[in-house]
Structure 1
Amino acid sequence: MIKGLVTSMVDNLSDDLMVNMLTKDYPENFFVMATAAEKLSLVAIVEACMRGESGKALQRTYGSPNVQSQWKKLFLNPRQLFEMPTEKLEDISTEVIIGKRAIKPLRISMPVMITGMSYGGSLSVEAKMALGKGAAIAGTATNTGESSVCREERSSTNLLIGQYNRGGWLRKHEDLAQLDAIEIQLGQGAWGGAVPTSIPSNEIGDHLRECWGLREGEDAKKGARMEGVGNTEDLINLVKSLRDTYGVPVGIKIAATHFLEKELDIITQTEADFITIDGAEGGTSSAPPTLEDDMGLPTLLALNRAAKYLENKGIKDKYDLIIAGGLKTPGEFLKAIALGARAVYIGSIALIATIQSQIVKTLTDETTPQLVIYGGKLTKDLDVEKGATTLSNFLISCKEEMKLSLSAMAKTDVSQLTKEDLVCVDRELSGVLGVGFGGDACN
């Protein structure tokens, strides 16, 4: 009886809705929201409602949906006869060394690392531990992000890159001495570069306050500029000091912009070991949509320009180029290497891999970020060991697929990839990237 009553009510509602949509003029027609969504986009409508509710800048998680890097228009080039495929997978190396000139170079098992996602500014300590453990199992590195060296993260992983950040939370000698590489963070793709930000003291727990060296009631503030770096000479001296003191590779990270070459003119005056370029498609735990959607330079174009700059200057072997921003599959990783990157950073896809077997914990009341973001409602429900396992499985799977692809391309080392291993199905893009067009014969 109840089932029949509910069915009848649903039928009546659907009938009324259909009559409304097929007979009413637009001002009274429910379908008007469909045409509005097509004109304005569903994202713009939802975000307009959020803005109207709060009157504050929005904080969007995961990054921008405005993805313009055309990785799918690039294909890798296998060989079959004029060159023979590599017969044995065990003969293929995916190991990468970052900072060969450093006293203690960074050696990773594959050209894929976990990008900077900070404890406190982005993620919970449990999430950082899972990322660190997963990276360690797979033989690669993870990154502190704009935070200090959290003891739980340090003890969870083997290879840790620390961000010398604009908040000043990683400056102590005892913290810097624990790192396997140091990355001077001057900007981030998802934030349109660098802007002033702060975290209110009432949102900072005791553990994080201790890690960051904050007083009770003190807000965590991060400036748009790096304290102590006001000109090129300051940056040169900072890089030299860090390299001389700690002996590990030292790099500089910037957000990709159309002024990329002007930024590189300054960076390449330093003795940095690596340069990290973060494309506009990079993710974050929370950034205003305007900074995510409308600022910066797409990752693919930024990588190509940075690699071309280093090659034209004759210094591509001096600086290891690391690219970040929206990369997600083994194929994209290999294409990035072929275009000139030494390694890639991944973030959002690494988090998805970490929580993939635990997403059910968020249904139906909460969103997936609540499992991993600092202050999230479900962070204590995150199974660190399970997250580490699924992340390491993802990374190892990516490495195995990359080895299979390298075999097909007659390679024995991932470093052998060049632009000759790419073909493009868009003539304009092929000209921009300097790779062959699929409609033309290969010379």
Structure 2
Amino acid sequence: MLLSWLTMKLMDPMADEMMAKTLTEDYPDNPFLMVTVAEKLSPRALVEAAMRAESGKELTRPLGSPVVLSPWDKILLNPKQLFQLPYPDYTQVKTQTIIGPNAKKPLKLAIPIMITGMSYGGSLSLLMKMALAKGSALAGTSTNTGESAVTNEERDAAHYLVGQYHRGGQLSGKEQLSRLNAIEIQLGQGAWGGAVDEPMPASQMGEHLRKAWQLEEGQDATIYSRMPGKQSTQDYIKMVNSMKEQYDVPVGVKIAGTDYIEYELAVIAQTQADYIVVDGSEGGTSSSNPTLQDHVGLPTFHTLVRTIDWLEANHLRERFSVIIAGGLTTPGHFLKALALGADAVYIGTIALMAALQSQVAKALPQAPPVQIALYTGKLSDKLDVDVAARHLANFLASCTVEMQLAVQAVGKQSVHELDRSDLVAVEKELAEFAGIRYAASHREGHHQTDSGQKAVWRSNQMQLQ
């Protein structure tokens, strides 16, 4: 009590002086000026300006951009109650997912939620990679090497491992590629604005990582803007087809979403790839700079809609499985992405947060929780792998049940039966772009123009008669 009283007595004159200056002084000498400056520039711009002024180097912002332009919250699923009944048992709603069904060894998953590429070394610690692998295995889904190599630790912990054949070359050769359940040729990433150089100095690498990447002591590593040795679009087409000829597992191509998405898809369509990964600008990463994250690329929603529309318009939808990535965080996001045409979704940042769960207390308040997860994190050795794996598996199980319940309400028996007729948008321009109904337009029953809904209406009328 005495300490509290003394503290208040000391603070009272300072508070009085601050209040007096705030209410009486002109702006140049008024502390309230910082409030107006922050409103004009934004607190984020102020802090990032200070960081740039201190270092003179590019910033590295973990976990992606705060700029979210995908309008997921302006789209809703359409439940049915009387004219068509809900599905009778949500536990029987199917979630099984196949990536690359035409491959000799398709990737068969229990759920349409996959762990995206986050690399050991360039992004995450080995312990966190093991936790993601174990958690995904418990949930019956896959994890992804990211721009790294196949390590024994991750391979042993994962049930299904997707490996990125990427622009740094650390994952290549039959010894590594033959250990994968799917091969993902990584040509771009949403959080990096596509494909740019990503250097990593030798001073940041430990011995285990250096051996995994097969580097000499003191040798730097670089993820390049293009595959080394590839000089033309035709070189990339040949590379994909060569990979497809050598391996029985699904072979896919990953690109970042941009306003040239249709041009990029036209190139992929000339390959024998089994699946396509499109990564929107809201995707996360460990170290790209704010300019690439905030100002380059195409939002995830727009990337997905345009990808599916182009494939359907060119009669190619059945040839390719489509995985969408970039800022997807909730079961609602996942369902809406599936309804728009995706076969599966990749998650990254939200998977990390779920895995860390109560272990964030090991970092807070002295350090941000990412210090437990990142390869360069000061607390990376504090992660309990089994606890993190269990929390990730619980998160995925929870998401799956919520998705099943929503699909039950919509009146369907599989998450893969969802389509755009199951969606409605509250903005007219958004509805027109995505080819879904606008919430402010009335349904006209059997007079409506949508042929699919017309058939449903007639079927239900016959049942009533």
Class of the TM-score when normalised by the shorter of the 2 chains? over 0.9
Distance 1:405 1:57 in 2: 44
Q: State the secondary structure of the residue aligned to 1:113.
A: strand
Structure with larger Rg: 2
| Match in the other structure for 1:130 | 131
Q: Write the letter of the residue equivalent to 2:315.
A: G
Q: State the secondary structure of the residue aligned to 1:358.
A: helix
Distance 1:285 1:106 in 2: 27
What is the CA distance between 1:156 and its match in structure 2?
A: 0.7
Q: Write the letter of the residue equivalent to 2:331.
A: P
| Match in the other structure for 1:425 | 426
What is the CA distance between 1:244 and its match in structure 2?
A: 2.2
Distance 2:241 2:229 in 1: 14
Q: State the secondary structure of the residue aligned to 2:98.
A: strand
Distance 1:127 1:283 in 2: 16
What is the CA distance between 1:76 and its match in structure 2?
A: 0.3
| Match in the other structure for 1:234 | 235
| Match in the other structure for 1:168 | 169
Distance 1:387 1:12 in 2: 49
Q: Write the letter of the residue equivalent to 2:107.
A: L
| Match in the other structure for 1:19 | 20
Distance 2:260 2:4 in 1: 64
Q: State the secondary structure of the residue aligned to 1:83.
A: coil
Q: State the secondary structure of the residue aligned to 2:358.
A: coil
| Match in the other structure for 2:92 | 91
Which whole-Å deviations, capped at 9, do the CAs of 1:235-280 have from their partners, x for residues lacking one?
2222222222220000000111001111111011101011100000
Cα RMSD of the aligned pairs, angstroms, is 0.9
Which whole-Å deviations, capped at 9, do the CAs of 1:337-394 have from their partners, x for residues lacking one?
0101110000000000000111111122111110000021111111111100110000
| Match in the other structure for 2:49 | 48
Distance 1:173 1:268 in 2: 25
Q: Write the letter of the residue equivalent to 1:309.
A: W
Q: Write the letter of the residue equivalent to 1:86.
A: Y
Q: Does 1:78 align with 2:88?
A: no
Distance 2:81 2:233 in 1: 50
Distance 2:242 2:380 in 1: 38
Q: 1:43-442 alignment to 2 at 5 Å?
A: 43-442=44-443
| Match in the other structure for 2:34 | 33
Which whole-Å deviations, capped at 9, do the CAs of 1:11-54 have from their partners, x for residues lacking one?
22222211111111111111101000100001000000000000
Distance 1:136 1:165 in 2: 24
Q: Which runs of 5+ in 2 are unaligned?
A: 449-465
Identity rate of aligned residues, in percent?
Answer: 51
What is the CA distance between 1:317 and its match in structure 2?
A: 0.9
Q: Write the letter of the residue equivalent to 1:347.
A: G
Distance 1:191 1:240 in 2: 26
Q: Runs ≥4 in structure 1, deviation > 4 angstroms? A: none
Distance 1:326 1:308 in 2: 21
| Match in the other structure for 2:458 | none
Q: Write the letter of the residue equivalent to 2:21.
A: N
Q: Write the letter of the residue equivalent to 2:143.
A: T
Which whole-Å deviations, capped at 9, do the CAs of 1:51-80 have from their partners, x for residues lacking one?
000000000011011110000000001111
Q: Write the letter of the residue equivalent to 1:327.
A: L
Distance 2:389 2:181 in 1: 20
Number of equivalences: 443
Q: TM-score, normalised by structure 2?
A: 0.94
Q: Write the letter of the residue equivalent to 2:37.
A: A
Distance 1:259 1:3 in 2: 62
